[in-house]
């Protein structure tokens, strides 16, 4: 029986992630990028069973030599561990040589989010500035802020995903997991205005066709993640807020607002589609700030 080669098993592993694990396209691409470093250093024709922990430490060292960030190093280690766990599970190896790799410490950064006045202004900019497509852009910003969705989830939304008078939707998140996200009144109103305008613009008699994407570009095709980033860059640039805002910043803003206003952290975890509550807990900084403010106002000696 021919020896299994690292390059062949990597391709098999990536196909497994896509077809069996149902990981998103972006997640599979991230795994591919990390494992390409493994192939670049070890060689795609290297026998899999000959790979040692020292070989993998050498790969990590190369990333450090290239001045890669600690986050990049840790992501490579995580991808490598998962790959070799797959190799062990399916009988290519008897042990996982990546288990002894040590991750590096990463400083905890509070995610960038918008203040209440900033998010309110951003959601009104499409009406006041009229840069691109007023009704679509307002609906897009309101939906991102109302749901806390990832940009990939928003561009994948179809008419059939909207439920109960556009009060909530079913989205498919990471790992193919479905969850409910909710539209508050401003988001519902913005969607209604956008759909009416879109029907006039494209003469879409089938606007209620369940196969149509919720958000489309100027030509009527599905809006891409790059398209959303471009739209936000226009409104958050010199013509609008005058500081860059990413789609993910609106997700951070949603989480911060929910927790800051008393929502249970596990409920917010469910709404965001986080697999680990520790990811959601990054946003509890605002609650801590509120507690400090309350303390300073109430304690007699705080004056």
Catalytic residues: 150, 174, 248, 251, 274, 283
β-strands 178-182, 162-163 pairing: unpaired
Three-class SS of 42-97:
HCCCCEHHHCCHHHHHHHHHHHHHCCCCHHHHHHHHHHHHHHHHHHHHCCCCCCCC
DSSP state for residue 237 in the 8-state scheme: S
- 105 CB neighbour count, 10 Å cutoff: 7
Where b means 16+ CB within 10 Å and e means fewer, 133-145 reads: bbbbbbbbbbbbb
How many whole angstroms separate alpha carbon 82 and alpha carbon 102? 14
How many whole angstroms separate alpha carbon 61 and alpha carbon 55? 10
Please count the helices (runs of H) and the strands (runs of E) in the chain: 13, 3
Q: Which residues pair with 216 in a beta bridge?
A: 222
Supply the DSSP string of 96-145, one letter for each residue: -TTTTPPP------PPP---HHHHHHHHHHHHHH--S-HHHHHHHHHHHH
How many whole angstroms separate alpha carbon 160 and alpha carbon 17? 27
């Amino acid at each position: 029986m021919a020896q299994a080669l690292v390059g062949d098993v990597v391709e098999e592993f990536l196909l497994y992630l896509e077809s069996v694990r149902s990981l998103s396209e972006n997640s599979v691409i991230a795994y591919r990028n990390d494992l390409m470093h493994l192939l670049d250093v070890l060689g795609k024709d290297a026998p899999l069973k000959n790979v040692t922990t020292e070989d993998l430490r050498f790969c990590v060292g190369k990333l450090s030599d290239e001045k890669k960030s600690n986050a990049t190093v840790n992501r490579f280690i995580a991808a490598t561990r998962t790959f070799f766990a797959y190799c062990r599970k399916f009988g290519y190896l008897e042990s996982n040589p990546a288990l002894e790799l040590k991750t590096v410490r990463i400083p905890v950064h509070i995610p960038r989010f918008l203040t209440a006045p900033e998010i309110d202004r951003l959601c009104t900019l499409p009406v006041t500035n009229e840069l691109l497509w007023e009704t679509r852009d307002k609906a897009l910003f309101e939906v991102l802020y109302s749901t806390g969705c990832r940009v990939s989830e928003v561009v994948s939304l179809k008419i059939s995903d909207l439920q109960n008078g556009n009060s909530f939707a079913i989205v498919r998140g990471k790992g193919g997991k479905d969850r409910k996200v909710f539209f508050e009144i401003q988001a519902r109103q913005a969607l209604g205005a956008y759909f009416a305008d879109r029907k006039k613009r494209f003469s879409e008699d089938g606007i209620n066709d369940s196969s149509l994407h919720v958000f489309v570009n100027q030509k009527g095709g599905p809006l891409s993640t790059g398209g959303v980033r471009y739209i936000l860059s226009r409104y958050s640039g010199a013509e609008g807020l005058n500081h860059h805002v990413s789609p993910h910043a609106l997700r951070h803003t949603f989480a911060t607002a929910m927790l800051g206003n008393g929502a249970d952290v596990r409920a917010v975890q469910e709404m965001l589609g986080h697999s680990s509550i520790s990811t959601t807990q990054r946003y509890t900084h605002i609650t801590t700030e509120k507690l400090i403010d309350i303390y300073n106002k109430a304690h007699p000696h705080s004056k």
